[in-house]
Chains A and B, each alone.
Chain A
C-alpha cells in the first residue's frame, strides 16, 4: 500500500503531507523516483527533506531540513488556499463512494458520539484546495461505508457537479490506494471504481471489503514491490525512534 502510494507521486512536483502513511509514502517517493518532490507539512515546513521519518508533523528534523519555515496561518493562506500545491495526501476513518471523508465522529450523536476521532485538522482545506487528492485508506466494511457518519472533508459530495457548486477549486480525489488495490473515480458519475488489485487479491475480496456495491473498471494488477523499494522503506521505517 505504501509502495503503491509512493509510486502515485511519480512526476509530481509538490505534496501536502500528513503524518502516518502519507508521510511514509511521500518520503519513500522522494528517496526513489521523485527526488525533487517538494514536501509541505502543515506545521509550516516547506520543502522538508527529513533523513528519517518524522514521528510528528512538527519534528525539528522537518524545520532544519526545509527550504522555508513559515507560520501556520501562512502555510494555509498563502500556500494551500490558492491551489499552489499539486497533491494532497489524506487518510480517514470512513470514506464513501464519492470519496468524502470522516475523521470526526463515529456513531451516536455528534455531541455524544460512540467514538470521538481527532477531528478535521488540515484535511477539509487540503481536500478542497490541492489540485489533486490521493487517499490512503485500509479497506474493510467499517472504513468503506455506504454513508459516512460525518462529512469532515469533501470528495465529490453527492456526485457530479457538486465540487463546482461548492466552489471547491481542486479536482478532488483522483485515486484511493488501499491495502487491497486502487480505486479511481468514474469520469462521468464520480463514483469510485476498482481499477487495480494488488498481487494475490481477488476482485471478490475487494467487493466484500466495501460497504457499497463496488463497480469494477478496466482492471490491472499492481506490480509487486521491487527489492529497492522494500529496502528503502525498511530503512525509513527503521529510522524512527
Chain B
C-alpha cells in the first residue's frame, strides 16, 4: 500500500481502456475519485457498478465510458439518469454499450471474482428477457441434484475504487454502516484505490465494520468529504438537495456541459 494524493493515485492506477468499478451502494460513493478521473480525461473505460447513480451519469456524459456493466441505473429517490439515457437512446456524447444484470447477479459476479472462481451461481434470471441479451450469464445444471440454475461470469475489474471512513498509517482501511459490495469489489480487482475521510494513528473497533488489510490495497488517498453528495456515516449526511438538483442539471446537454466546465 502506498499513501498518495488523489490525482497521483488516479494517474497511476486508472488507464484508458480499463475496466473500472467505482462501488458504493448509496453510501460512501467515491465521488471525488470519479471527478478526478473525469478531470484527467480518461477514455474508453468499461464502467462497472451495481447501481450507477449520478456519478456514473457524470462520467458517461463527460465521455469517459465506452461500456457500462450494471443492474440499476437511476437517480435514487429522484428519477432517471438523463446522461445515461441520452447515451443509450441517442448515442450522446457517443454510443454506450451495455451489459445488464440484476443486483443478485452482479453481487455474485463480484463474489466469484473475489473468490478466484470463473463464475458464480444463483437462482435468478430464469424466464426474464435478460437471458436473451446478456452474454455473461448462462444456464447451468447442478451436478448433485440436476436442478437448472444460472451461472454468472466472474467480475475481475482492472481497478476498483471505493471510499471509506478511515485508514491507519500503515494503510489498513476501515468502513462501516452500509458497506454494500465494496469488499468484494476490492478483492476481485487487480488494483485498488481507496479514498478515505482521514488517516488515524490506529483503527478503533466499530460495530459491523469491514477492514481491508493494507496488503490487499494498492493505494490510499486522503479525501475529506470525498463521498459528497452521498454520505459517510459518522462524518456527514447525504445531500439530498444535490441529488434533486442533478435532475435539472443533467436534463439538457448544454446545462450539463456548463456543469462539467466547473469541475
Q: With A121-B71, A153-B128 in contact, do A116 and B103 touch (Cβ < 8 Å)?
A: no
Judge whether A152 and B130 touch: CB under 8 Å: yes
> Is B228's beta carbon under 8 Å from chain A?
no
Complex-state Cα separation, A121 to B81, whole angstroms: 14
Instruction: Provide the residues of chain B in CB contact with A59, threshold 8 Å.
Output: 26, 238
Check A167–B126 contact: CB distance below 8 A.
Answer: yes
Q: Is the beta-carbon distance between A125 and B102 smaller than 8 angstroms?
A: yes
Q: For the complex, is B92 an interface residue (Cβ under 8 Å from A)?
A: no
- From known contacts A118-B72, A120-B130, infer whether A125 and B80 are also in contact, taking CB-CB under 8 Å: no
A114-B73 Cα distance, complex, nearest whole Å? 16
Say whether A63 faces chain B, with CB atoms less than 8 Å apart.
yes
Beta-carbon contact of A44 and B178 below 8 Å? yes
Task: Decide if B216 is an interface residue (CB 8 Å cutoff).
Answer: no
**8 Å CB contact of B129 from A60, A112, A151:** A151
- In the complex, the answer to whether B178 meets A58 with C-beta atoms within 8 Å is yes
| Inter-chain contact total with CB atoms closer than 8 Å | 175
> Taking the nearest CB of chain A, how far is it from the CB of B256, in angstroms?
17
The answer to whether the Cβ of B174 comes within 8 Å of any Cβ in the partner chain is no
Return A27 CB to nearest CB of chain B, in Å. Answer: 14
**A152 partner residues in chain B, CB cutoff 8 A:** 128-130
Looking at the assembled complex, report how far the CB atom of A177 sits from the nearest CB atom of chain B, in whole angstroms. 21
- What separation, in Å, do the CA atoms of A76 and B100 have in the docked complex? 17
Q: What are the residues of chain B within 8 A of A151 when measuring CB–CB?
A: 127-129
Contact of A154 among B100, B127, B238 (CB under 8 A): B127
- Chain B residues with CB under 8 Å of A64's CB are 177, 233
A64 to B183, CA, bound (A): 20
B121-151 vs A: 1/0 string, CB under 8 Å? 0111111111001000000000000011100
A128 at the interface (CB under 8 A from B): yes
Once A113-B88, A125-B124, A166-B127 are accepted as A-B contacts, the answer to whether A69 and B107 lie under 8 Å apart by CB is no
Given contacts A113-B88, A128-B126, contact A167 B240 (CB under 8 A): no
Q: Is B85 touching A241 in the complex (CB atoms < 8 A)?
A: no
A44-B123 CB under 8 A given contacts A121-B71, A122-B102: no
- B interface: dominant SS: loop
Most chain B beta-carbon neighbours within 10 Å: one of A45, A60, A241: A60
CA distance A110 to B129 in the complex (A): 10
Which B residues touch A241, using CB under 8 A?
Answer: 240
* Residue B56 is within 8 A (CB to CB) of chain A in the complex: no
Shortest beta-carbon distance from A238 to chain B in Å: 14
CA A129 – CA B111 in complex, angstroms? 20
A119 touches B25 (CB 8 A): no
B191 at the interface (CB under 8 A from A): no
A160 at the interface (CB under 8 A from B): no
| A13→B171 CA distance, assembly (Å) | 43
Chain B, interface size category, equals 35 or more
Q: Inside 8 A of B70's CB, which chain A residues have their CB?
A: 119
Residue from the list A71, A110, A113 in contact with B179, Cβ < 8 A: A71
Proximity string of chain B (181-219) to chain A, C-beta cutoff 8 Å, 1 when within and 0 when not: 101100000000000000000000000101000000000
B residues within 8 A CB of A119? 70-74, 100
Q: Mark B105-126, 1 if CB is under 8 A from A, else 0.
A: 0011011000000000011111
Residues of chain B with a CB closer than 8 A to A209's CB = none
Distance between Cα atoms of A60 and B240 in the complex (Å): 12
Enumerate chain B residues within 8 angstroms of A219, measured Cβ to Cβ: none
For the complex, give the distance between the alpha carbons of A80 and B107 in Å. Answer: 13
Q: A85 on the interface (CB 8 Å rule)?
A: no
Write the chain B residue with the least CB distance to A53.
B77
For the complex, is A77 an interface residue (Cβ under 8 Å from B)?
Answer: yes
Q: Chain B CB within 10 Å — which of A42, A119, A125, A154 has the most?
A: A119
A149 closest partner in B (C-beta): B129
- Are A169 and B73 touching (Cβ within 8 A)? no
Residues of B within 8 A of A63 (CB): 27, 177-178, 233
The contact sample of 28 A-B pairs, CB cut-off 8 A, is A44-B180, A55-B77, A57-B76, A58-B76, A59-B26, A60-B178, A71-B184, A73-B181, A73-B184, A76-B107, A76-B108, A76-B122, A81-B122, A104-B129, A110-B129, A115-B89, A118-B73, A118-B80, A118-B81, A119-B74, A120-B100, A120-B103, A124-B125, A152-B130, A154-B126, A154-B128, A167-B148, A167-B149
Kindly list the 8 A-B residue pairs having the minimum CB-CB distance in the complex, ordered from nearest.
Answer: A58-B26, A121-B72, A118-B74, A56-B76, A55-B77, A154-B127, A76-B104, A73-B107
